[in-house]
Amino acid sequence: FTRLFTRHFHLPPGEYRKKNKTACYVPGKAES
């Protein structure tokens, strides 16, 4: 998950969720 998170870290929360439905990006926080 860490690698994927780093890879898409530049994406906004909405874009991140759309590309990775199994992962959720919260601004300033990473949840695996």
Mean pLDDT, each 10-residue run in order, the chain (32 residues): 57 56 54 47
Look at the alpha carbons of 16, 30, 10, 4 in this order and tell me if their dihedral is positive or negative: negative
Residue 21 covered by a domain: yes
pTM attached to this predicted model: 0.15
pLDDT at 7: 57
pLDDT at 32: 45
How many folded domains does the chain comprise?
1
Residue 4 covered by a domain: yes
Q: Which amino acid is at 23?
A: A
Rounded to whole angstroms, the Cα distance separating 10 from 7 reads 8
pLDDT at 29: 55
Residue 31 covered by a domain: no
Note whether 19 and 8 are within 8 A (CB): yes
Residue 3 covered by a domain: yes
Residue 11 covered by a domain: yes
